[in-house]
Structure 1
Amino acid sequence: MTSTRTVTLCPDPPLTLHEAGDGRPVLVLHGGGGPASVAGLVAHLAGHGHVVAPVHPGWSGTPRPAWLTGVDDLALAYLHHLHDRDLRDVLVVGSSLGGWIAAEMAVRDTAHRITGLVLIDAVGVRIENEPIRDFFTLDARGIADYAWHDSERYYVDPAAVPAEQLAARQGDMGALRVLAGSPYMHDPKLLRRLARVDVPALLLWGESDRIVTPAYGRAYTAAFPNARFDLVAGAGHLPHVEQPEATFALVDAHLSAGGGGA
């Protein structure tokens, strides 16, 4: 069974949630590309538990309160949501920006509601000599070249995109710039704080990602005390889109081995 609803959790922002499946709570957090970029991941994980997939405020036309200006605000809002619904033994899965939010949630989870993490080509930390590509400086061709393994397949000519879709993308990018534009796509303190996050973590990386490279991903993984790094061949920044079968197989193996928590 699937459903979509909006809940208001004062003083937190209203959240639009897509929910599917039954069992263990699985929070799926999308990246800058919006909820459509994790739709396949949501469908797959619904076979493992009860998936809760929020639309980040400001994406897809949803309201973003003026005070919500940082990833830390989102991380706290989602933690409050877990608390208010009394969700426990939660697996948090995040792609790109969503992985950053997941990591920020984990360092703040003093109630120990999160028992597992899966971060997919996550941003959020500063790694010496491995800068995060400035997404805002790239045109459509640059995005295809840096974000995808098969850039020709995924390149979209802006001239062929309907005006309403372009406007929606611009709205999403505006929200992304507010939340993650300065300092660009990272929290300077997060890397050091990850040493206190001892839940099992799987970090998956597309081998051809040039937004955040596999070397960045390995350094990110090393900051966790209980983490594993896996590389997905033939994929870029969104391996769950380019190579879904291989990505899902790695997630399933991690969960079957007990790497996802309790």
Structure 2
Amino acid sequence: MTRTLRPHPGLDIPLVDTGRGERTVLVLHGGGGPDGVAGVVEHFAPHARVLAPTHPGWAGTPRPDWFSGVDDLAVTYLDLLDDEDATDVVVVASSFGGWVAAEMAVRDRGHRIARLVVLDGIGPAVDGHPVRMPQPPPGAPGPDPADMAALRTYAGPEVADPKLLRRLARVRVPALLIWGEDDVVVPPAFGKAYAGGFADARFEVVAGAGHVPHVQAPGETFTLIDEFLAKA
């Protein structure tokens, strides 16, 4: 089922609300849009309630001019968890969604989030490893220009927050960071530094995968996620 969140006048956010179960899983997409995490939604829906919003500005959704920062997304999705009275929430986030998830975890004063899974996330500034936006080969289809414009609005010119890595030390919930071995957007060394910022994080590399391991190597990626959550 897809419904519309309206947290503020003029701000409509499409939300997939599917599955059933005691656990709530919040799925946050990356620059490729909601289709890029459809497999994650499908994986969890048989045994959990899955909430998967479309960030304003993606997939043709309007983005008000005043809604322009990663913090806007993080606060809005924390409000969603509050409004749904969701507890013991697992957040699974890809790429740009990983940045939003990290900001949520830093700001989660209501302790709604219990576990965090980041798939090749961006967000912190890591020395020597700038974010390299993907460039499709000539003639190949690339990301939707409107989606990329939305990403740059939220992420800023550097596509990173130099303060985020230090803030992660206050995140006490267990985190799993999974990285594609061949990621050219943010390499595994970036991911290892990202994981090192958390108080309690595990870092795993998936061989043969790039920036979206849940698409390129779903078997190994979901095995890692399921094992991590089984220890909860």
- The two structures have a TM-score, normalised by structure 1, of 0.84
Which residue in 2 is equivalent to 1:94?
93
State how far apart, in whole Å, the 2-side matches of 1:157 and 1:95 are.
Answer: 23
1:12 deviates by: 8.2
More helix by share: 1
Kindly indicate whether the alpha-carbon contact (under 8 Å) linking 1:12 and 1:77 is maintained by their aligned counterparts in 2. Answer: no
Which residue in 2 is equivalent to 1:191?
165
Which residue in 2 is equivalent to 1:31?
30
Structure 1, 12-21 or 193-202: larger mean CA deviation: 12-21
2:140 alignment partner, one of 149, 157, 168: 157
**Structure 2: which amino acid aligns with 1:37?**
G
Which residue in 2 is equivalent to 1:176?
151
Aligned structure 1 segments of 4 or more residues deviating by more than 2 angstroms:
10-13
State how far apart, in whole Å, the 2-side matches of 1:129 and 1:121 are.
Answer: 17
Which residue in 2 is equivalent to 1:209?
183
Cα 1:210–1:139, aligned 2, differ >3 Å: closer, same or farther?
Answer: closer
- The two structures have a TM-score, normalised by structure 2, of 0.95
The question of 1:70 aligning with 2:53 is answered no
State how far apart, in whole Å, the 1-side matches of 2:140 and 2:108 are.
Answer: 42
State how far apart, in whole Å, the 2-side matches of 1:103 and 1:13 are.
Answer: 23
Where in structure 1 are there 5+ consecutive unaligned residues? 143-155, 159-165
Deviations 1:50-84 (A, max 9, x none): 01000000111111111011111111111111112
Kindly indicate whether the alpha-carbon contact (under 8 Å) linking 1:13 and 1:77 is maintained by their aligned counterparts in 2. Answer: no
**What is the CA RMSD across the aligned residues, in angstroms?**
1.6
State how far apart, in whole Å, the 2-side matches of 1:139 and 1:225 are.
Answer: 34
Cα 1:51–1:139, aligned 2, differ >3 Å: closer, same or farther?
Answer: same
Which residue in 1 is equivalent to 2:12?
14
State how far apart, in whole Å, the 2-side matches of 1:246 and 1:98 are.
Answer: 21
Deviations 1:31-68 (A, max 9, x none): 00000000011100213410100000011111111101
Deviations 1:134-166 (A, max 9, x none): x1xx54218xxxxxxxxxxxxx724xxxxxxx8
State how far apart, in whole Å, the 1-side matches of 2:217 and 2:32 are.
Answer: 17
State how far apart, in whole Å, the 2-side matches of 1:36 and 1:70 are.
Answer: 22
1:11 deviates by: 5.8
Q: How do 1:105-254 residues align onto structure 2 when only pairs under 5 Å count? A: 105-133=104-132, 135=133, 139-141=135-137, 157-158=140-141, 169-182=144-157, 184-254=158-228
**Sequence identity, in percent?**
55
